[in-house]
Amino acid sequence: MNQPATASISRHDRDRFVALAFCWGDLLFELDMMGVVVFCAGPLEAFTGIPPNQIAGCPFVDMISSADVMGFEAFQKKARAQIRVDNEVVRLKRATGALLGVLASGYWMGDRFYLALRLRGKTTPATVSDPTQPNPNDPESFSRNAGRRIKALEAQGHKPEMAIIGLNGLEELREGLDEASAQAMLASLGSCLSATSIGGDTAVRLGDEAYGLLHDPVSNLGELHKRLSAAISAVVPGGTKLQFSTASMALDIARDLSEGDLTRGLMYALGSVQKQGLRSTDVSSLSDNIFSLISQGLCDIRNFRKIIDERRFFVALQPIIDVRRGNIHHFEALCRFDLSLPHNSPYQYITMGEETGLIHEFDVAMAAKVIALFKKLPVNNLKYAISINISGFSIGVPEYVEALHALLRDNPWTQGRLLFEITESYRISDLDAVNNFIQSLRQSHYKVCLDDFGAGAASFQYLSALEVDVVKIDGSAVRNAQKAAKGRAFLSALTELCSRLGVETIAEMVDSPESLAFVRDCGCNYVQGFLFGRPSRDAADFSPLPNVKLFR
């Protein structure tokens, strides 16, 4: 490595330098096809107490914990498929007998494997392998990798399958180990499963005693049981009496889904698996449940995609009324999915849209639907104004922001007549980015309302950080204020604060004359609720306004 800059170097040396340029770390190694060290650089002795001259010619796996060997072999296999792999945890043996955890980055060039090791520290990124997950595939990365692998194999005429591996007795075994040994065992299991999976990156932990992996139908899963036993025995001397069982399913149900929707469907399904906390030790029963959830998840994605693409939903309107005058200030556009049940809540669909990452596409479709409805109303009658909901999730998706602004540019006549309500604000993490989005709407002459105010502890933080025109006080906060002895003082103080900030207030779920009187006395500017009619597809249903006499 100390060649003069002007000296000619061999092709092999040139390749070595190029490959090492793709690695980072404190220690650099070059391994041959057999995994033998042919080159080493860096403060190896300071890290391990072992002189570098004792390393050349030795198998690299002799330098690491025996429990990590299978994981390292899977790491090399994955690097062959992906060219380069980062952030794999391995533990180096030290002369003192202790182990030193490091992060590995690997790169193949020809018949050489170039390896860089970096000392782990407090700045280690959060993406480092979690030993409680298969090496290191959590449900999100598994879904992403599996979606890509499945569609690629389908294009080649192959039909990959999903296998469920049951390890009856694993939890009892884990509880009998110290924390370090338990983590090492789970890491070894995960690495073994990942190495068996297609691409080396399509295995996932599904529960305390169950794993899933994508595999080729002709692969020998019986051989996998032997490898899993060996992986456990490497950590738990004397072996184990774990009972292994396997079930497998074809994934033909995914054929008509895009890679993106397949990924979303798998992620949604695995989320359902985790929510249910399936613990059956009977792999047949367990796999039936998991396969059912996967099938349902993919079916739900397929149906929601049709809802978006084919606009299989309709808009219902509910009026927002001036609390003093009794006139309609604007309507809120509410989505409904069943014409025969117009009053049914859309909560299930919207929640699924958010959990699957499709809500931003639905929000664009909803905005387009509302604008289309608007065109059917008297265009010169300014009394008609409509608010459209935007999920806090959507604001963070650049494609949504671009699509919404494009829609508004194509329909400039909606300025001053459309409002936007930001819902599910608990999903907001980057307040500065959200405020920039809000100001872009306001500068284009669209007012913005912060929905669900008072429903969570962060509401005041949002009000402080986000410059909006209106806040909608959550119905639960309105009802609680009416029940609590200090409720009137609280709600009055809230409306006074908003007034000082130049922000108007809407009280939600005003369903009785008593509620109307209460929020009016507390200083709310507008009200919304069943007292003035249920949502309707026809704005004419609110002319005359139900219970308008309460304002006289």
| pLDDT band for position 196 (cuts 50, 70, 90) | confident
Comparing 122-126, 218-222, 389-393, 500-504, the range with the smallest average pLDDT is 122-126
Q: State pTM to two decimals.
A: 0.69
What does the pLDDT read at residue 5? 39
Domain 11-119 has CATH 3.30.70.20: no
What does the pLDDT read at residue 518? 95
The two domains 11-119 and 311-551 share their CATH topology (first three levels equal): no
| Straight-line distance from the first to the last Cα atom of the chain, in angstroms, rounded to the nearest whole number | 91
Q: Which CATH number fits domain 139-305: 3.40.50, 3.30.70, 3.30.450, 2.170.120?
A: 3.30.70
Average pLDDT for 471-476: 92
Is residue 488 over pLDDT 60?
Answer: yes
Q: Determine the Cα–Cα distance for residues 425 and 450; give it in Å rounded to an integer.
A: 8
Average pLDDT for 117-128: 46
Instruction: List all residues 6 or more positions away from 519 whose beta carbon is below 8 Å from its beta carbon.
Output: 323, 478, 491, 507, 510, 527
Comparing 71-85, 111-125, 442-456, 489-503, the range with the smallest average pLDDT is 111-125
Average pLDDT for 316-332: 93
What does the pLDDT read at residue 66? 76
Provide the 8-state DSSP code for 476.
H
User: Mind listing the pLDDT tens digit for each residue in 229-281?
Assistant: 877 877 776 656 778 888 888 877 777 889 999 888 888 888 777 777 655 55
What does the pLDDT read at residue 124? 33
Q: Measured at the alpha carbon of residue 102, what is the angle toward residues 97 and 107, in degrees to the nearest 5?
A: 125
Q: Are 204 and 213 in contact (CB under 8 A)?
A: yes
Burial of residue 361 (CB within 10 Å: 0-12, 13-18, 19+) is buried
Question: SS3 for 126?
Answer: coil
Average pLDDT taken over every residue of the chain: 82
User: Mind listing the pLDDT tens digit for each residue in 415-435?
Assistant: 989 999 998 755 677 888 899
More confident residue, 155 or 361: 361
Comparing 373-382, 389-398, 427-436, 462-471, the range with the smallest average pLDDT is 373-382
Comparing 92-96, 354-358, 370-374, 402-406, the range with the smallest average pLDDT is 92-96
Provide the 8-state DSSP code for 344.
S
Q: Determine the Cα–Cα distance for residues 96 and 47; give it in Å rounded to an integer.
A: 11
Q: Determine the Cα–Cα distance for residues 48 and 27; give it in Å rounded to an integer.
A: 11
What does the pLDDT read at residue 486? 86
What does the pLDDT read at residue 352? 84
User: Mind listing the pLDDT tens digit for each residue in 39-92?
Assistant: 888 778 877 888 878 888 899 998 888 777 877 888 888 887 766 677 777 888
Domain 311-551 has CATH 3.20.20.450: yes
Q: Determine the Cα–Cα distance for residues 209 and 186; give it in Å rounded to an integer.
A: 11
The residues with which 248 forms a beta bridge, in sequence order, are 163
Is residue 481 over pLDDT 70?
Answer: yes
Domain coordinates of the chain in residue numbers?
Answer: 11-119, 139-305, 311-551
- Long-range contacts made by residues 434-438, C-beta under 8 angstroms, separation at least 24? 434/392, 434/395, 434/396, 434/466, 435/465, 435/466, 435/467, 437/395, 437/401, 438/466, 438/467, 438/468
Average pLDDT for 209-229: 80
CA-based torsion, 463, 468, 474, 480: positive or negative: positive
Residue 59 is which amino acid?
P
| pLDDT band for position 133 (cuts 50, 70, 90) | very low
| pLDDT band for position 446 (cuts 50, 70, 90) | very high
Q: Determine the Cα–Cα distance for residues 523 and 492; give it in Å rounded to an integer.
A: 6
